[in-house]
Structure 1
């Protein structure tokens, strides 16, 4: 009896990169690509159609990013596990992905080496983070303890809320922040509202003032 195959949907807006990943996976009979897309919305349609075990998504596609697609899958209670392909090595982006329910986080520069092991582990119910950035998990836990000591409530912010707060401190608008973080201005405004509520801040300039005062605490 043939072993069960892990069915995979791939989404990346760079055809050459997709082709490279396809060639790697085609060498492994237990990994089967059942659909390819070049943006997040098309990826969600393919996932709904094929119900693959794993979705391999670029974190920053146009229209709908891989991170946003992962959130949508979480809301819909999809059983498809998400692996993000990324060039971002920052701690807060990794943690935001984990908060969104992502099971794998693979650096594109290491994808050819890591992707097969990642897909097999994620399909088996495990987590996978590219070894080059796995130390960030330890760093994040240490930083969370420091934040808890500096300001009650600050440690309760999600990585994305802290990232938005840091950009607010830089004087950026919701539109500018959204463009930098690959989220909509409305989502940025929601983060502003939630952050202010968590910190007990009131007034139109309270969040900006707080962000500027705590700028050094918000740095990765």
Structure 2
């Protein structure tokens, strides 16, 4: 009796990475590459038409209709509950890794790990077994949970959460104030209060928190974080 064949779909917005993954996956024993996608739109279309056992997807994929990051993972779990998920990411944030695990997806591989781990990740995902690559384990070890992640954070108000989301989308304190019709002084105070409650120490932490809780797309937050590194926040 022949071994069961595993149908795998891969998704990554970088053509070179996608081509390399396709060649690699196609060489795995008893594995069929069922399709490739470059964003969430093409991924959902593919999974709707094509039977799939495991989807190995990049955490950050811009321009898709269904978002990316945590938002996409939760959507895939609702829409395709029988498809096992494995996440591939270049984001080195313990908060992001924990947020992925919190969705119930427990197979996560770093793009900086050796490509040979892809096969292990796929087979672990198929069997419903947890697997963190060596780099992902190191990232978690180097980033202990904040009090908020451990359940000890104070209550964040709806307005503070709104401010957090807008800041993560790239708006300055002044721009947030104009958007919600409040003074920059009020927004700055809400920002400080929100960060204290959540145990956040920097703007980078704000972006990470927004991504891990599905408030913004991971690709969007990554772009905003990169841009903010080259700007001076006069209002903060």
Same fold (TM over 0.5): yes
Q: Number of aligned pairs?
A: 181
TM-score when normalising by structure 2: 0.64
The aligned runs of 1:57-206 (5 Å cut-off) are 57-63=57-63, 64-76=67-79, 78-110=81-113, 112-137=115-140, 143=145, 147=147, 153-154=152-153, 168=164, 174=166, 176-178=167-169
- Structure-2 separation of matches of 1:179 and 1:80: 34
TM-score (norm. length: structure 1): 0.68
- The structure whose RCO (Cα within 8 Å, separation 6+) is larger is 2
Greater per-residue helix proportion: 1
For 1:76-133, what per-residue CA distance to the aligned partner results, in whole angstroms no more than 9, with x for missing partners?
3521111111111110110111122323211112251210111111111101111122
Q: Please, what is the CA RMSD of the aligned residues?
A: 3.4
Unaligned segments of structure 2, at least 5 residues: 172-185, 206-236
2:14 is the counterpart of 1:32: no
**Hey, what does 2:200 align to over in structure 1?**
218
Distance 1:108 1:101, change over 3 A: same
Deviation at 1:57, TM superposition (A): 0.9
Name the CA shift for 1:111/1:10 in 2 (closer, same or farther; >3 Å): farther
75 and 179 in structure 1: CA distance in 2 versus 1, 3 angstrom threshold: farther
1:20 corresponding residue in structure 2: 20
